[in-house]
């Protein structure tokens, strides 16, 4: 079964959110460490966490914008079919 583009987008966002939650949980235990003493791997994971958050927001906004544009196009198409010819 092939997923629709919307299903693929929603699934991808959900998986990114799951990864973000996992990283957040794992890094939460290390929050007591100061940044200066954090291992490079921890800093890299924190950077991934921040980047994932930004990516999720960007993709969600793009998906919502696309959905709004698609609905607007549908309304425009329907209104042109049923509007008087003058």
**Residue-by-residue pLDDT tens, the chain, 86 positions:** 788 988 999 999 999 999 999 999 999 867 655 555 678 999 999 999 999 999 999 999 988 876 655 555 655 655 555 455 54
pTM equals 0.64
Q: Which tokens is 43 given?
A: 């800093």
pLDDT of 86: 46
Cα(42)–Cα(79) distance, integer angstroms: 55
pLDDT of 34: 53
Cα(23)–Cα(43) distance, integer angstroms: 12
């Amino acid at each position: 079964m092939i997923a629709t583009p919307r299903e693929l987008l929603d699934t991808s966002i959900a998986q990114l959110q799951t990864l973000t939650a996992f990283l957040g949980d794992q890094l939460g235990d290390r929050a007591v460490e100061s940044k200066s003493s954090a291992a490079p791997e921890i800093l890299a994971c924190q950077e991934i966490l921040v980047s994932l958050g930004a990516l999720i927001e960007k993709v969600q906004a793009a998906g919502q914008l696309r959905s709004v544009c698609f609905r607007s196009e549908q309304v425009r198409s329907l209104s042109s079919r049923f509007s008087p010819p003058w």
